[in-house]
Structure 1
């Protein structure tokens, strides 16, 4: 700040840090009295003279009635001094009028500058500045009122647009929220989730994870062509075929038939309607797989595909059928892959479970058990960890344990047989497909109890899709591909397209093209799998929150310092529980729910 006077006199009015001060004494430094009654020694350059005085005390600076607005209108666009402006507006130049003028200059609207050089601003500048200030004040008042409503958990409809910022943070689309930080919370998706629930913007059970993971949440709406009549199909409608699924399944894409000793695995012929590099194929590739959420399914393909091709949804269905014999050693022989017509009856696992001693299920079971024995001899792992079905209907969560049924094992083995058959068919004909491979686990013997199964699961490497056939250790198969779920998994659809091209005498895609498509779909599939995993965890915790008095049984499957890793079979939930008394692996313990942190995706329990 420029010094207006090197040594202001005693009892003069000076400006110090934009506040009035009275000079009490002058020496090497100037002693000033501040408006709170305090004294301070400062350098001459730290103050600026406003009036030479005398000013006996700051309390004598009384408000002034004058004509500063009229003075501004008279002097608009010119330059003046503090003394001249005070005399024009107040007809006098006193400490009080000097301070009254300076307050208007400090306001920076009509006047700006220094005591010796005050610029009188034009009307245009003043009106523009005033409008900007009023807008800023209104915005600040609005912001303050908004924060008060957030603090009171009482947002209005007009606040929805503003809360979109917090929602974007909750969904992982941005990293910071000014709103959340103004409310005193660290910016994180979890805190944003809490805030949105607290103010009622989200329901208390809102599931953010599919959106946060980046999953597509709308069904595909593209036209679907009619099934052409040009391709010849083997008529297998004389063979009873059974689509065995969980009750309520909406996309039956596989069925089983027995023809003498030959087992047929019929798979919905999706490639007949979804051609390579079509709009449907590109969209399925971008989605990777069906998204199965407890609250519903988002399909990889339009619903019309399932309606036309789902096995058992019409009297006769088109299929891509894999037929084979299985010898006493469990090896597949005499492979056949054909486009077919099949007549399918839909069944449930529970229904077939009661008929496993009857034909044809007894014979099917015998065939698949030979195949299973071969896989086990080759080191296949069977981890019988608890599984549950989580469903949400009208906001109510239902968790149903999935029992270990022999009928489910029958179907699982039949699908694996079809996967090996498809892989061998393609390998023998040098058809490029994604082979599913898995290297052996790091260590560990075959698991027999829950704790060892839990530990062994951690030893497994993820299944990898590769362009060259390599063993799948976990399945105990020397060659394998996924081929039985083309309605809901892109890699299966791609295998079907390659096989159908070969059967029709067309050139299948080369390995480079297949690899590029698999890589794109695999990235999308990871989003789907993560969305499903987190959503299932979310709704399990909603179930617990809604059953706050929950008590149940857990099994200790791991030990960590003073915590036990406990598996709750009833809801297939893994948790960590502090314990005081020693516990051992596979020990069963009684648990009670403490609390649920839904945004944090955790629940705490205590051992009873």
Structure 2
């Protein structure tokens, strides 16, 4: 026969229950838990009181406040273990269903009493209960009070966050939200508690709303894992190098206004074009501390409000062309035939006198000082066109932030910028040809040919053609770069700011100095080169994405701040947009003044390449989205 009787009070999964029916030995027992009825095995319940209990709802089932007899009971039970019925009698002066349940709750709470339980006991009367030591009770009380205070503080924090008002003492708690906004973790307990979606964008928006971040804060470099500090590594003495004196040449370093790292210059000696590049390999030796640091960074990171360098700034001051009275360079000389082909290629370490100027000033002298350089580089340019180079003509802008002021200015195409671009591309082809001829392992840049070769004329055609291209890649074997229209190419002109360019310089130095009296490093082998390419490409990819999204970030801020700067009235930004694509639901525009490509609901009344005027309706900085409407 079962020891459980109808009407008995039992304990089932932390709840009070009443026995309603008892079957035969192998049958289950029916119990009721308030309004719920269940059939359970006898081993799943524990008898607290034989009853009778008419209805569980008549019992106070909450954890009771300690009775007045608690202190006396604890003293009596310091050295003695008792049954539940005895404990109930000590605490409440009786053993009733209510006193049995209240006593059992105090035992289960674990603050004042501990259970010396028999796992096989079905009757709580078979368990022995003893008082906990006073020092453990005091410690547990302190711990519980601390938890209560922490919960109250947490609830108050979530309430302040929900109300959009925080205190300075809340800042340490919000670090987890900042980490989520920067992609350094995947979730946030705070956002979950506040009912906010656990995404980077939602975290970013909340931090701005709370004033934890200023609206200008740019999270994109951190999201991409970009190191935000410049390297601070001692710069060694330059490697002693035999140099050819080319100071008789007029060497020009032509850059944008404000450029701080001039690493290339050009000059013309008769019909020979010289491209001079800062001799960084004389300071950065393969596998040195500087080299390893540059390898991990991959490239300079150019943000609108700052530049994060791949190498210590002291190297630029020491080696930047035109920053010292004399400049050390790796010079690449060649002639460009009437058909645009490179001939008579030579490389040497050189000593130069370099004059710095800007594209704006050089453009004023295109028909005088730079007319011969333009003629030479135009031949190379025409050859690339004949090779179906992708001469994409889409808007580009320069975004700068100076003292909090955001300026966005379109790049001027052509002119002296075209001269420099063509000279640098020619130098890349010349070095690639030289390296291939002399079996020097270097990273070659290549780009596969698109499925269909096009010659776009209109902006919509340039936009569509760009979508046909795969990104350029690096390889240890020479291959054609379709986009540039070159059969072989390497990037070599920016060793101060691009690690793969620096590798090319290091390899060229190893080759050019192999017969010198100074001890030299050997050429990197294939496996070493592949490893370096992989590391540099990974770091460079992160840097480029950080740059693109940072430019978008500051563009969104520019649009958002525009109205404020215009004063009263409707000061939302307005400007020209060109329709470049229609799809089933959306129309894509290009805004030449901003170089952004927003999408609108399909504009059936517009044609491709039609110019329309658009106005900003709203800006979402965390999502890098601006919403426009057509106003004419």
Partner of 2:556: 541
C-alpha displacement at 1:33, in angstroms?
11
Structure 1: gaps of 5 or more residues:
none
Which of the numbers 524, 543, 564 marks the counterpart of 1:528?
Answer: 543
Q: Deviations over 1:450-487 (max 9, x none)?
A: 10001111111221222222221111112211111111
Q: Which of 339-348 and 541-550 deviates more?
A: 541-550
Q: 8 Å contact 1:438–1:471 — kept in the other structure?
A: yes
Residue number in structure 2 paired with 1:561: 584
- Residue 611 of structure 2 corresponds to which residue in structure 1? 588
After TM superposition, list the pairs within 5 Å mapping 1:73-88 onto structure 2: 73-88=75-90
The question of 1:309 aligning with 2:315 is answered no
- Provide TM-score, normalisation by structure 1: 0.90
User: Do structure 1's residue 140 and structure 2's residue 181 form an aligned pair?
Assistant: no
**Secondary structure of 1:79's aligned partner:** coil
Pairing of 1:346-425 with structure 2 (within 5 A): 346-359=356-369, 361-425=370-434
CA distance in 2 between partners of 1:63 and 1:525 (Å): 65
Aligned to 1:176: 187
1:406-555 aligned within 5 A: 406-505=415-514, 507-548=522-563, 549-555=572-578
Residue aligning to 2:216 = 205
**Does the CA-based 8 Å contact 2:582-2:602 persist in structure 1?**
no
| CA separation of 1:5 and 1:78: change in aligned 2, threshold 3 A | farther
| Contact 1:376 1:476 (8 Å CA) reproduced | yes
1:328 matched to which residue of 2? 338
Aligned to 1:7: 6
Mean Cα deviation higher: 152-161 or 498-507: 152-161
Aligned counterparts of 1:428 and 1:511: Cα–Cα separation in 2: 16
Aligned to 1:283: 293
In the alignment, the residues of structure 1 paired with residue 612 and residue 440 of structure 2 have an alpha-carbon distance, to the nearest angstrom, of 53
Deviates further, 516-525 or 283-292: 516-525
Q: Is the 8 A contact 1:321 1:337 kept in 2?
A: yes
Q: 2 CA distance for matches of 1:74 and 1:559?
A: 87
8 Å contact from structure 2 (residues 7, 18) kept in 1: no
Deviation at 1:412, TM superposition (A): 0.4
Distance 1:383 1:53, change over 3 A: closer
Return closer, same or farther for 1:57/1:167 CA change in 2, 3 Å cut-off: closer
Query: Given the superposition, is the C-alpha separation of residues 31 and 241 from structure 1 closer, same or farther in structure 2, using an over 3 Å criterion?
Result: closer
Contact 1:77–1:122 (CA<8 Å) still a contact in 2?
no
Q: 2:180, 2:186 within 8 Å by CA — same for their partners in 1?
A: yes
Q: Are residues 96 and 381 of structure 1, via their aligned partners in 2, closer, same or farther at CA, if it must alter by over 3 Å? A: closer
Corresponding residue number in structure 2 for 1:224:
235
Q: How many residues align?
A: 597
Q: Distance in 2 between matches of 1:281 and 1:40?
A: 73
2:305·2:402 contact (CA, 8 Å) conserved in 1?
yes
Shift of 1:66: 3.7
Alignment partners' CA distance in 2, 1:68 and 1:509: 81
Matching residue of 1:300: 310
Q: Which residue of 1 aligns with 2:119?
A: none
Taking the aligned partners of 2:245 and 2:552, their CA distance within structure 1 comes to 45
Taking a change above 3 Å as real, the CA distance of residues 103 and 440 of structure 1, as seen in their structure-2 partners, is closer
Match of 1:71 in 2: 73
3-state DSSP class of the match of 1:237?
Answer: coil
- CA, structure 1 residues 553+91, in 2 after alignment: closer, same or farther (shift >3 Å)? same
Cα 1:72–1:523 shift into 2, 3 Å: same
The Cα shift of 1:153 comes to: 3.0
SS at match of 1:334: strand
- C-alpha displacement of 1:521: 1.2
Question: How many angstroms does 1:86 deviate by?
Answer: 3.9
2:441/2:476 contact within 8 Å kept: yes
Counterparts of 1:494 and 1:428 in 2: how far apart (Å)?
A: 18
User: RMSD value over aligned CA atoms?
Assistant: 3.0
Does the 8 A contact of 1:55 with 1:95 survive in 2? no
Q: Bigger shift: 413-422 or 576-585?
A: 576-585
Which blocks of at least 5 consecutive residues in structure 2 are unaligned? 24-28, 116-122, 516-521, 564-571
Deviation at 1:246, TM superposition (A): 0.5
Q: Aligned with 1:308: secondary structure?
A: helix
How has the CA–CA distance of structure 1 residues 376 and 43 changed in structure 2, closer, same or farther, with 3 Å as cutoff?
Answer: closer
CA distance in 1, matches of 2:386, 2:489: 17
1:255 pairs, out of 265, 270, 277, with 265
Q: Does structure 2 retain, via aligned residues, the 8 Å contact 1:385–1:453?
A: yes
Q: Which residue of 1 aligns with 2:567?
A: none
Conservation of the 8 A alpha-carbon contact between 2:481 and 2:488: yes
Does 2:125 align with 1:126?
no
Separation (CA, whole Å) in 1 of partners of 2:153 and 2:211 = 20
2:583 and 2:602 in contact (8 A); partners too: no
Q: Deviations over 1:575-605 (max 9, x none)?
A: 1111454322111122111211211122221
**Partner Cα separation in structure 2 for residue 166 and residue 526 of structure 1:** 26
Query: Which residue of 165, 168, 176 corresponds with 1:165?
Result: 176
CA shift in 2, pair 1:21/1:545, >3 Å: same
1:153-212: CA deviation from partner (whole Å, max 9, x where unpaired): 333344333322222222222222222111112322222222222222222221111111
- The equivalent position to 1:244 in structure 2, one of 247, 254, 261, is 254
Give how far 1:330 is off.
1.4
**TM-score if structure 2 supplies the norm length?**
0.87
CA contact (8 A) 2:191 2:198 kept: yes
54-63 or 554-563, which moves further after superposition?
Answer: 54-63
Q: What's the CA shift for 1:106? A: 4.7
Deviates more, 1:347-356 or 1:142-151: 142-151
2:309, 2:146 → 1: CA distance?
Answer: 49
Contact 2:4 2:22 in 1 (8 A): no
Structure 1 CA distance, aligned partners of 2:589 and 2:555? 15
1:603 aligns with one of 610, 616, 626: 626
